Amino acid sequence: MDTKELTDWLVGEARLSGDGIAIVEELGRRLVHAGVPLWRFRVAQRVSNPLLAAWGVIWRSDAPTEDYVVPTAWLETQTWIGSPFEYVTDHRSSLRKRLRDLDPETDYHLYLELAAEGGTDFFCLPLEYGDGSVQGTSITTNHPDGFSDEHLELFEAIRMPLAAAMEPVAMRRSTASLLNTYLGKGPAEAVVAGAVRRGGLSELKAVVMFSDLRGFTHKSTTWGDTKVLEALDQYFQVVVDAVHEHEGDVLKFLGDGVLAVFPILEGTNVPNRCADALAAARQAQNKLGEVNKARLEAGDEPIEFGTGLHLGMLTYGNIGSADRLDFTVIGETVNLASRIEGLCKVLGRRVLCSSAIAKHMPDTLTSLGKHDVRGVTEPVEVFTDRA
């Protein structure tokens, strides 16, 4: 086996590619070409993200390559606890397990699953990164004789070069993941693309959706912090899920408010985006009904929120101080969406839309007349779903 050729490729061409899936696929191919009876090859990477624990790539000789992510809650389950990946990351040393004569009562479930599929030998090794973190890689064969000593020596020889190739990929993935979590997909992509200059503002046409929890001030003073946070999480979850499902971006949580946008890019069908935003608002309200049913069964008070929708131009980009920036959207469109939401309680409606939305959905919405709103000189006409 030409170990040097393999390691040179890892620290050179592979490292510069920046493509984790391509690296794993090509490494799998090269190991097979080198005579390794490779059946399954997995690289797992921890992510610096409060919502995601890890992402990884699984290459198999008999199936397409799989790219996956793992939620943070996974770290508290038996899937992680006692796993070979936990062992190698904690001990910074490799682990080998023959997949023969396993004990269903004591052996880790992954070994049993691999053996049931025909696996015969399993080797897991740590990938150590420059920041002190340790990642995991597993290599499995279904060859009757398992891995030879020569194979294991090769795996150890490529351990550090593989870490060198995967570390920049992991760093970029973690950065993008964090930006996406805190900024939303669209703004995250803009920041990654270079929109990081203070005062660097751009204009965008979009449907703005603003939601606000009812009676939050009273709840925050009478429920206690734990119940308030639990209710906020439930409320945020239904709104965020609905916005994402209809291809919108959640930009901010403003106390008990949620600011989301449905961008209208060049060539986008405006009525369709208006329909997306309205569908998201409806879905969130419908899902809240399920949440409230569970809350009532648990002896908790139900929660309610209103949503305002408006279409127009807005300005987005970075604002802030010399050493602290915030990626946000501003403008009259945002303000009016917030004011329209404020009319929900007054008019006894859960979702209200502006005339800018209604003109693109004349058969869906009906007018509730014009109403005075704070900060706007002329009365604003608002619309709701037809009965």
What is the four-CA torsion angle of 269, 274, 279, 281, rounded to 10 degrees?
150
pLDDT tens digits, one per residue of 234-272: 999 999 999 999 999 888 888 889 999 998 988 889 999
pLDDT tens digits, one per residue of 119-148: 999 999 999 988 888 889 999 999 999 999
CATH code assigned at 80: 3.30.450.40
Tell me, yes or no, whether 240 and 174 share the same domain. Answer: no
Whether the pLDDT of residue 224 is over 90: the answer is no
Tell me, yes or no, whether 57 and 199 share the same domain. Answer: no
Q: 40 falls in which pLDDT band (50, 70, 90)?
A: very high
Q: Which domain holds residue 162?
A: 3-182
Tell me, yes or no, whether 215 and 178 share the same domain. Answer: no
Last residue of a domain, one of 134, 150, 182: 182
Distance of CA 232 to the CA centre of its chain: 19
pLDDT tens digits, one per residue of 83-93: 898 899 899 99
Considering only CA atoms, which of 297, 338, 328, 331 is closest in space to residue 314?
331
Is the overall model pTM greater than 0.75, yes or no? no
**Tally of domains in the chain:** 2
H-type helices in the chain, by residue range? Answer: 3-9, 15-17, 20-33, 84-91, 109-116, 149-183, 185-192, 216-222, 225-245, 270-297, 332-347, 355-358
Tell me, yes or no, whether 130 and 169 share the same domain. Answer: yes
Residue owning tokens 């069964």: 297
Tell me, yes or no, whether 349 and 305 share the same domain. Answer: yes
Tell me, yes or no, whether 51 and 192 share the same domain. Answer: no
Tell me, yes or no, whether 317 and 237 share the same domain. Answer: yes
* Mean pLDDT of the 194-211 span: 76
Distance CA 301, CA 323 (A): 42
Distance CA 351, CA 334 (A): 16
Distance CA 300, CA 239 (A): 20
Tell me, yes or no, whether 162 and 223 share the same domain. Answer: no
pLDDT tens digits, one per residue of 320-367: 676 666 667 778 899 999 999 999 999 999 999 999 999 999 889 999
